[in-house]
């Protein structure tokens, strides 16, 4: 299948490579020459605009930071909507506001373009391994047609409901993950303050009810103070902002997610936004008086060009 891919960042890059490995023909766009050269060497074609990507594709996959970037790529000047063939299907794998996903799906639908919102869970390691979890919203017949494409990038591909439902599921996922990481950090700090080896505590409880994928993935990072991003704190903070917006719209109280949001906001204020979300541990250690504030791994603002897509 001829697939366009827009958003070759931390997540999108390995996802696109897995599509090539599965035998699909790719059309890509990126403002960084080294990235486009890498994909040309793998057999991909390059377009100059999102509209150019769409004109050469049956399916366009987007993997972008947030709603404004997705809206620009799909509906803006030189966007997918301007040059798309009527048979086109858009799959937005970004994590965005569900209302925005519904609005964009409706706008594309008026031009005869089908859209699925299909955010993912699993982070960079699972993107590389091709074992992501896709949470999909959109029409059943469109899902059935595109599911094999998603299966080339993920191990779990589940349709949750209509337009926007995939992003509701992703927001639920992000709330659960944030609270799990936070309470894992609390537990490690408790062990240290009580004079017990935190690594031994994790080993002891991993096989019980407290064991989780979060503990398996983030526990070793916390024990070793390795906060290089698999999923940047800034992006999780963005997702929690969408969680709170959606929760307020439907009057769903989420006090635990709100607390995680505030802790991440504090870490961002101190320059830790580019670190992995397991850096939540830093907040608890500082609050417990276990360490002085450490220098951020990357103290620069969250303007990583790999997380954005700009027209050349």
- Please give the Cα distance from 298 to 268 (Å, whole number): 11
Residue 46 burial class via C-beta count within 10 angstroms: exposed 0-12, middle 13-18, buried 19 and up: middle
In this prediction the pTM is 0.85
Domain residue extents for the chain: 2-162, 168-307
Closest CA to 96 of 55, 67, 138: 67
pLDDT digits (tens, 9 = 90+) for 18-66: 999 999 999 999 999 999 999 999 999 999 999 999 999 999 999 999 9
Positive or negative, the Cα torsion across 72, 176, 286, 222? negative
Per-run averaged pLDDT (10 residues), the chain, 312 residues: 96 97 97 95 97 96 96 97 86 95 96 96 92 98 98 98 97 96 98 97 96 95 94 93 93 98 97 96 96 58 36 26
The fold of 2-162 is Rossmann fold (3.40.50)
The reply to whether 17 belongs to the active site is no
- Please give the Cα distance from 251 to 239 (Å, whole number): 18
Q: Give the per-residue pLDDT at 75.
A: 97
Catalytic, out of 17, 170, 218, 238: 170
pLDDT digits (tens, 9 = 90+) for 243-266: 999 999 999 999 999 999 999 999
If phi > 0 it is left, if psi is from -120 to 50 it is alpha, else beta; for residue 114 that is beta
Cα–Cα distances (Å) from 13 to 20, 84, 197, 235, in that order, read: 11, 23, 38, 17
H/E element, 30: none
- Please give the Cα distance from 127 to 104 (Å, whole number): 25
- Please give the Cα distance from 260 to 240 (Å, whole number): 8
- Beta-carbon contacts of 238 under 8 Å, excluding residues fewer than 6 positions away, are 65, 66, 95
Query: 168-307 sits in which CATH class?
Result: mainly alpha
């Amino acid at each position: 299948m001829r697939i366009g891919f827009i958003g070759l960042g931390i997540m999108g890059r390995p996802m696109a490579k897995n599509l090539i490995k599965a035998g699909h023909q790719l059309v890509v766009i990126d403002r960084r020459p080294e990235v486009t050269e890498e994909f040309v060497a793998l057999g991909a074609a390059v377009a100059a605009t999102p509209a150019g990507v769409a004109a050469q594709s049956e399916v366009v996959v987007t993997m972008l930071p947030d709603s404004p970037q997705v809206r620009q790529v799909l509906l803006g000047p030189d966007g997918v909507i301007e040059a798309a063939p009527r048979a086109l299907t858009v799959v937005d794998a970004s994590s965005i506001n569900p209302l925005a996903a519904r609005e964009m799906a409706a706008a594309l639908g008026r031009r005869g373009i089908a859209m699925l919102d299909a955010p993912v869970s699993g982070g960079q390691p699972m993107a590389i391994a091709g074992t992501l979890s896709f949470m999909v919203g959109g029409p059943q017949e469109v899902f059935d047609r595109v599911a094999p494409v998603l299966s080339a990038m993920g191990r779990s591909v589940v349709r949750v409901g209509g337009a926007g439902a995939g992003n509701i599921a992703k927001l639920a996922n992000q709330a659960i993950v944030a609270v799990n990481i936070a309470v894992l950090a609390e537990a490690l700090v408790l062990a240290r303050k009580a004079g017990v080896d935190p690594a031994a505590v994790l080993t002891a409880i991993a096989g019980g009810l407290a064991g989780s994928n979060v503990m398996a993935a983030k526990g070793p990072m916390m024990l070793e103070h390795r906060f290089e991003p698999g999923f940047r704190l800034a992006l999780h903070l963005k997702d929690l902002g969408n969680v709170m917006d959606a929760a307020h719209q439907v009057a769903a109280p989420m006090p635990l997610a709100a607390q995680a949001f505030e802790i991440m906001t504090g870490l961002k204020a101190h320059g830790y936004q580019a670190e992995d979300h397991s850096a939540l541990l830093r907040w608890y250690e500082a609050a417990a008086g276990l360490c002085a504030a450490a220098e951020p791994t990357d103290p620069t603002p969250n303007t990583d060009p790999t997380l954005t897509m700009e027209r050349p």
